[in-house]
Amino acid sequence: MPAPYKTKVQHAESAHACDTISVKMMDCSALGTLVVNHEPIELIDVRSKKEFAVMHIPGARSVPFDELAAGRIFRRRRATTERVYVVSAGGHARASLATGILRSAGCVNAVPVDGGMKDWVAQGFPLQRKKSSISRAQVFIATAALPIMGAGVAVALREFIAAALLFAIAAVLNLRPNFSPPRRRQRAGRGPTHVMKAACIPNEKEEIA
């Protein structure tokens, strides 16, 4: 059976596996001290572009590991004796492999950072995070919705005013004075009481007789 196909990344990892054994690691807390004190260092982040965009160490430069393994770094990198620190997502395996590639490209003092971004975040060192931005589509939708929202508010306000007026009119009608004519009282000398009194008065003609 033919040997399984190896990607460029796997080939680079195999080629530089022997170099990673003797690579000295940089402690994450020591690197944090250098960054906090604004020391002039070169820091390379070998994570993906998306991971770098979400958050990264301030001052770091994004050079994904795929680009290193593809050999692009050999065409762009100049030989230097300056210390270069390499950061990966976590652990030290990939950072060590990237360090071996950088040393082959001329960065003889490249050093991997032990723990990577995982330890950096856990220890609470400074981070540069992606700023939330509003897309043009969201701005367009919000702008187009303003007239509709304004019309809705106007209708609601008009209905509220009409309801308030009706309530005020109803209150006035309920409080108006009663102008209906009072009931007439019965005149004196009429009715059952007068009849009873008349029955009690003796007849003068009968007494004279």
CA distances from 160 to 164, 165, 206 (A): 6, 9, 85
Q: In what order do the strands lie in the sheet with 42-45?
A: 61-62, 42-45, 84-87, 110-112
- Which pLDDT score is estimated for 44? 93
pLDDT mean values, one per 10 residues, the chain (209 residues): 43 43 79 92 93 94 86 61 84 87 86 94 92 56 58 69 77 60 55 49 50
pTM higher than the cut 0.85: no
Q: What is the full DSSP assignment across the chain?
A: -PPPP--HHHHHHHHTTTTTTTPPPBPHHHHHHHHHTT---EEEE-S-HHHHHHEE-TT-EE--HHHHHTTHHHHHPPPB-S-EEEE-SSBSHHHHHHHHHHHHTTBTTEEEBTBHHHHHHHTT---EEPPP---HHHHHHHHHHHHHHHHHHHHHHHHHHHHHHHHHHHHHHHHS---PPPPPPPPTT-SHHHHHHHHHSPPHHHHH-
- Which pLDDT score is estimated for 5? 37
Domains with residue ranges and CATH for the chain: 8-129 (3.40.250.10)
